[in-house]
Amino acid sequence: MGLLAAARAEELRAQAAALAPEMERHQVPVEYLANPELAQALQTAHNAKTPQALGAADAGVQERMFLIGKDGINGPDLDQLRKETRANVNGAGNSHFEDPAFVQAAKDMHEARLLAEGGFQGSQWMTVEQRYERAEKELFTRMEGVGREIENRVTGNDSSRLTDQNLKGESSSAAGYGSVEHHEKFAESLANTGANETQIRGRLAAARSEGTHPSTAVTMGKGAAKARKSRPGTAVGSERGKNGLSP
């Protein structure tokens, strides 16, 4: 463990040297680089080619610094996320937190809430409220998936289980498609090419309107009738007025 710790410390020092201008501008302690999201935000600022891209990247660094001040370098722990999610999302149980994608969505919602309470507005391409709503939507989607998996195990529905297994590979590739991070990285890449704000907004609007993963789009026709049915837990949206981000 001592050798691993020493190697990690050396890695952080090298990273700090490369990102020195950005770290000095934002007054980032070296140990904060252990937070991968902050390290990525600093790297994005370091790579920015235009004033617009740099401004967006700096805003991302400020958000991460704020969140570290609230949750620490390692972010919120699982117990904290479980307690907060249960308080705001009806039906969230222990089994859901065995799903890494559900945990990530819970973390995203938690962070969006903290940023809103801290007065952050988000980027010009994705507001904090939109980030919250996307995370909440992902939580409901993951809850449905876990529910179906449990039902298949209990009922011994082999055909459904086989279908789920066949879709696992596609699900992993589709998980980030159309996500907050997907669109923000897309916007950053456009800004780095020198695109102006109008061009970026137009490209993002097109991306959101076509934000369905190709594998999902192929099967949407089959599921259209099912999609019209009410999803379990959709009434939870009304809970946001009491517990969530919106007033």
pLDDT tens for each residue of 1-44: 578 888 888 888 898 999 999 999 999 999 999 999 999 999 99
In sign, the C-alpha dihedral spanning 210, 90, 104, 240 is positive
At 154, is the pLDDT very low, low, confident or very high (cuts 50, 70, 90)? low
Ramachandran region, residue 77 (left: φ > 0; alpha: ψ -120 to 50; beta: rest): beta
Residue 9: the pLDDT is 84
Residue 234: pLDDT over 50: no
Tokens representing residue 49 in the block: 């080619």
Count, residues in the chain? 247
Residues 56 and 91 in one domain: no
Residue 200 lies in a domain: no
pLDDT confidence tier of residue 47, bands split at 50, 70 and 90:
very high
Range of the domain at 40: 1-72
Helix spans in 89-228 (H):
100-117, 128-155, 158-174, 180-192, 197-209, 214-219, 224-227
Asked if residue 148 lies in contact with residue 160, where contact means CB atoms within 8 angstroms, the answer is yes
Q: Which among 31, 48, 72 is the end of a domain?
A: 72
Please check the confidence at residue 137 and state whether its pLDDT lies above 80. yes
Give me the amino acid identity at 152: N
Lowest mean per-residue pLDDT among 69-73, 120-124, 200-204: 200-204
Residue where a domain stops, chosen among 40, 72, 104: 72
Can you tell me the mean pLDDT for 96-115?
94
Across the chain, mean pLDDT equals 76
Q: 22, 38, 72: which is the final residue of a domain?
A: 72
Bridge partners, residue 122, by sequence: 127
Does 105 fall in a domain?
yes
Phi first, then psi: give them for residue 123, nearest 5 degrees. Answer: -90, 170
62 CB-near residues (< 8 Å, 6+ apart): 26, 120
Do 112 and 226 sit in the same domain of this protein? yes
Average pLDDT over residues 180-198: 64
Contact (CB, 8 A) for 112 and 135: yes
Are 83 and 131 found together in one domain? yes
Please report the pLDDT score of residue 83 as a whole number.
Answer: 92
Structural domain includes residue 208: no
Q: Are residues 143 and 26 in the same domain?
A: no
Q: Are residues 151 and 232 in the same domain?
A: yes
Measuring CA to CA, which residue among 230, 189, 183, 151 is closest to residue 52? 189
Long-range residue pairs from 23-30, CB within 8 A, at least 24 positions apart, any chain? 25/58, 26/58, 26/61, 26/62, 26/65, 28/61, 28/65
Please check whether residues 63 and 118 belong to one and the same domain. Answer: no
DSSP-assigned beta bridge partners for residue 127: 122
Q: How would you classify residue 107: left for phi > 0, otherwise alpha for psi between -120 and 50, otherwise beta?
A: alpha
Asked whether residue 48 falls in the same domain as residue 87, the answer is no
Task: Indicate whether 101 and 59 sit together in one domain.
Answer: no
Distance of CA 61 to the CA centre of its chain: 16
* Contact indicator for 57, 35 with CB cutoff of 8 Å: no
**Single-letter amino acid code for the residue at 199:** Q
Structure tokens at 151: 């039902």
Residue 183 lies in a domain: no
Chain centroid offset of residue 144 CA = 19
CA 54 – CA 188 distance, rounded (Å): 9
211: left (phi over 0), alpha (psi -120 to 50) or beta: alpha
| pTM across the whole model | 0.60
Number of structural domains the chain divides into: 2
